[in-house]
Amino acid sequence: MTNLYNHGTGDILTEHHDNGILQITINRPDRYNSLTLPMFEEMNQIWADVERDDQTRVVVITGAGKAFCTGMDVAQPDPTPQDALAMLETERKRVATMLRIEKPIISAINGPAVGYGLSTALLADISIAADDAVLIEGHTKVGVTAGDHAALIWPLLVGMAKTKYYVLTSEKLTGAEAERIGLVSLSVPREQVLPRALEVASQLARGSQQALRFTKRALNAWLTNAMPQHELSSALEILDFAGADYAEARQAFREKRPVDFPSARAAGGPAN
């Protein structure tokens, strides 16, 4: 695959298909396409490129190998306070840009999507998941607030009752279950995910570009009006980055053992 917009990490690939379709592929398959801090920044630069690129009419985002994207690389070195602040700014820009981009965005959820990965997939205009893909909200499982616009997008997609259940418990859903509750647009057999996404992209690329742009803008007014929710959840998530629970979750992940949150211990709860 060529790398049209190259911002240095080589871990996110971009290529044009015929007819103005841009494919973004998160390309760190051995780490299930989890994102390092430089990749978060690169992802933002790519969305800014998409906004400017006159050659692109529709965007398809997917993951290389078995996973779509499992969010933040929880095995990377501890984030500094400066890293956390930079993340907050990066997040704010990313969500605003994804909402502002007038070109339709389609997520092709080929496999596990967790945390930031799932939120990105859900913020796309159309989401197509493998029927057996594992989808996990995941933030609270690693001791951080469900930021990454989970608080923005989930209630609009599935209502507050399902949102609170899945966001607070981080219980996993399959792609088929996610389609049933309205979290994703479609679920299809795994091997059909990318072809189906490209087929829908091709159909949109042949459609009235102005009608599509204006319709997307009108629908996204629901989301842009709710940006204060995003700002709040992102700020709370960043506070948690410096906390003992997130440090324990990263340590547990590296040691491949169950997590034992200090805050649960302090409250007298059982270690889990």
Nearest to 87 by CA among 249, 238, 244: 238
* Coil vs helix vs strand at 14: strand
- Taking the least distance from each CB to ligand A1D88, the nearer of 166 and 205 is 166
Binding segment for ligand A1D88 (CB under 6 A), chosen from 8-16, 67-75, 151-159, 206-214, is 67-75
- Report if residue 74 touches ligand A1D88, rule: CB under 6 A: yes
Min CB(249)–ligand A1D88 separation in Å: 8
Query: One symbol per residue from 191 to 230: x for binding ligand A1D88 (CB under 6 A), - otherwise; what is it?
Result: ----------------------------------------
Min CB(242)–ligand A1D88 separation in Å: 13
Fill in the DSSP letter of residue 26: E
d(CA 226, CA 234) in angstroms, rounded, equals 13
Binding segment for ligand A1D88 (CB under 6 A), chosen from 2-10, 66-74, 155-163, 257-265, is 66-74
d(CA 32, CA 20) in angstroms, rounded, equals 28
- Report if residue 73 touches ligand A1D88, rule: CB under 6 A: yes
Written as six digits, the tokens of 134 are 């594992």
Tell me which residue has tokens 């629908």: 219
- Report if residue 34 touches ligand A1D88, rule: CB under 6 A: yes
- Report if residue 129 touches ligand A1D88, rule: CB under 6 A: no
- Report if residue 32 touches ligand A1D88, rule: CB under 6 A: yes
Phi-psi category of 49—alpha, beta or left, where left has phi over 0 and alpha has psi -120 to 50? Answer: alpha
d(CA 256, CA 262) in angstroms, rounded, equals 18
- Taking the least distance from each CB to ligand A1D88, the nearer of 58 and 123 is 123
Query: One symbol per residue from 102 to 121: x for binding ligand A1D88 (CB under 6 A), - otherwise; what is it?
Result: ----------x-xxx-----
Written as six digits, the tokens of 260 are 């034992």
Rounded (5°) CA angle 123-63-15: 90
Look up residue 259 and give its amino acid: V
Count, in order, helices (H) and strands (E) of the chain: 10, 9
- Report if residue 142 touches ligand A1D88, rule: CB under 6 A: yes
- Report if residue 246 touches ligand A1D88, rule: CB under 6 A: no
d(CA 233, CA 92) in angstroms, rounded, equals 11
Binding segment for ligand A1D88 (CB under 6 A), chosen from 2-10, 45-53, 134-142, 157-165, is 134-142
Chain contacts with ligand A1D88 (rule: CB under 6 A): 31-32, 34, 70-75, 112, 114-116, 134, 138-139, 141-142, 148
